[in-house]
Amino acid sequence: MLSTRSLFQQIYADDRAYQLFCSVAAGGEDQGGWENERITELTADPVLAPKVARHGADERKHGRIFTQLLRKRGLEKVEVPPETDYCMLLERQGIGLSHDRLTSGAPLSDREIITYLAHSRVTEQRASEQMRQLAKAYAGNPDLDRAMRMISADEDDHLAYCHEELLRLAARGHGPYIRHTLESIARGEIRTHRDVGLAVMTALGRILGWPRHQRLLLTAGVYGLYLYDRLWGWRRMVTLRMPAKRNALG
């Protein structure tokens, strides 16, 4: 029977599949780290800047963890197919702050800070959910259990921080713009998550030699989640509530 746990166990058991899995994850975390480092430099808000810096440091740490997991198996990172590059594909749709903006020297405006936080709020929702799934799938695994739980806890903190900071800005009168930005970013993220999911499944299917019925089943699962997110699930990505854990990155 095909289950999430059995799927991730297949990936873990095969060197090439595991290499691709960890390389995709490490690349995304490193990119997130770089973006947060640049945003820290461009943020004049003395309350927000240290939290953005902490966010970036966590992302860099996660990138190192995935790289170390590879090296523990005697493997190195590989170049990932461009169609699996979640961060790059989001930027190509105009989601978040562009590389050109992040490499400029001008301080970020309030609206650009909102764009950054809204982008993080949506993508950290996805990351939090995915890491909880991975922590559950690899529970008890001697190599991955502790690492997945650590990263999962960090992603939950990042999501809490985004909620709190966006609510702080909403209280200053930015509520309508925040809502509009969150909804726009969520729509783009949902499409991108579908496309990346299909690309990753295709690449893993070639490596692992999945039979046609398994590939069709997994493809149906990706489209099923996409339809759920389009019709209903997007709401969880755009609502804001004060987190139980306050000042998670303070």
For residue range 128-143, list pLDDT tens digits in order. Answer: 999 999 999 999 999 9
| Percent of the chain residues past pLDDT 70, beyond the cut | 99
**Two structure tokens written together for 90:** 């989001």
Q: What is the predicted pLDDT for the residue at 2? A: 66
74-91 residue pLDDT tens: 999 999 999 999 999 999
d(CA 85, CA 122): 17
**What is this structure's pTM?**
0.95
Output the pLDDT for position 17. Answer: 97
Domains of the chain with CATH codes: 14-183 (1.20.1260.10)
| Sites in the chain below the pLDDT cut of 70 | 1-2
Radius of gyration (Cα) for the chain, nearest Å?
Answer: 18
Sequence-distant (≥ 6) Cβ neighbours of residue 236 within 8 angstroms: 125
d(C-alpha 73, C-alpha 99), whole Å: 34
